C-alpha cells in the first residue's frame, strides 16, 4: 500500500508539472510590452575561422528590459528574436528561466568581445524545487540570449568575437 501511494503521488506530481508547463506555453505572448521597449540592434560575430555572421537583435539595456528578457514569450518569438543584454560596467551576471516557456541558449560576453561561456538553459515549472541559475565565470559586459540550437546552427563557440551596433539615436 505504501509503495502504491508513493507511485500515485509521483504520478500526480508529473502530471501537475506537465499541465503547468502546457499552461505556460498556452499563455505565452507572441509580443509584449517589454519586447517592444527593447530597441533594435545588430550583432556581428567574427568567428575564429575568419568567417563572420551578422543578425538583428533586440537590446535589453534598462533594468526593466533586462529583468523581463524572454519571460512569457512564445517559443516562435524566442526563435526569431535574439536579445542582447547590455550592462553599464563589467559584472558577474546570473540568469534564470522563470516564466520562460522554451529552452534557450546564452553566451556571456567579456569586455573585449570574446565569449566567456555558453550555457544551454532549460525552463522550469513554477513551484519547482530546482530553479537553476546560469552564471558567467568572470565579469561580463553583455549576454546574448537566443533560441535553442542557434549557436550550433551558426557554429558559434567561445573562440569567436562579438560586436554590436545600435539603432539611430540609441545610447549604449
pLDDT value for 168: 54
Structural domain contains residue 142 = yes
Q: What CATH code is carried by the domain that includes residue 35?
A: 2.60.120.1140
- CA dist 95 and 74 (Å) reads 18
pLDDT value for 10: 42
Structural domain contains residue 171 = no
Give me the average pLDDT of each 10-residue run along the chain (172 residues).
46 42 61 86 89 93 92 93 96 93 96 95 81 93 96 91 74 48
Following DSSP, what letter does each residue of the chain receive, concatenated?
-HHHHHHHHHHHHHHHHHHHHHHHHHT-BSS-HHHHHSEEEEEEEE-TTS-EEEEEEEEE-SHHHHHHTTTTB-HHHHHH--EEEEEEEEE--EE--TT--S-EEEEEE-TTSBEEEEEEE----TT-S----EE-SS-EEEEEEEETTHHHHTT--TT-EEEEEE-TT---
In the block, residue with C-alpha cell 509580443: 31
| CA 149 centroid distance within chain | 12
Structural domain contains residue 6 = yes
Number of domains in the chain: 1
- CA dist 34 and 56 (Å) reads 17
Structural domain contains residue 23 = yes
Selection from 51, 50, 121, 35 nearest residue 84 by Cα? 35
The three cell numbers locating residue 40? 533594435
Structural domain contains residue 172 = no
pLDDT value for 98: 86
Cα separation values, 31 from 37, 77, 81, 155, 171, Å: 11, 7, 10, 28, 24
Structural domain contains residue 11 = yes
CB atoms within 10 A of CB 118: 18
Structural domain contains residue 95 = yes
- State which residues form the domain around 67: 2-166
Structural domain contains residue 47 = yes
- CA dist 53 and 43 (Å) reads 8
Amino acid at each position: 500500500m505504501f509503495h502504491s501511494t508513493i507511485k500515485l503521488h509521483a504520478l500526480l506530481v508529473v502530471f501537475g508539472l506537465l499541465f503547468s508547463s502546457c499552461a505556460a506555453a498556452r499563455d505565452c505572448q507572441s509580443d509584449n510590452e517589454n519586447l517592444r521597449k527593447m530597441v533594435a540592434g545588430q550583432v556581428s560575430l567574427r568567428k575564429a575561422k575568419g568567417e563572420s555572421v551578422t543578425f538583428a537583435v533586440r537590446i535589453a539595456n534598462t533594468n526593466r528590459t533586462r529583468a523581463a528578457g524572454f519571460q512569457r514569450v512564445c517559443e516562435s518569438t524566442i526563435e526569431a528574436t535574439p536579445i542582447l543584454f547590455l550592462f553599464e560596467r563589467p559584472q558577474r551576471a546570473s540568469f534564470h528561466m522563470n516564466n520562460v516557456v522554451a529552452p534557450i541558449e546564452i553566451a556571456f560576453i567579456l569586455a573585449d568581445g570574446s565569449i566567456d561561456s555558453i550555457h544551454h538553459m532549460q525552463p522550469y515549472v513554477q513551484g519547482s524545487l530546482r530553479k537553476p541559475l546560469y552564471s558567467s565565470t568572470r565579469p561580463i559586459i553583455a549576454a546574448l540570449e537566443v533560441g535553442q540550437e542557434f549557436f550550433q546552427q551558426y557554429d558559434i563557440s567561445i573562440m569567436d568575437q562579438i560586436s554590436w551596433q545600435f539603432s539611430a539615436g540609441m545610447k549604449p
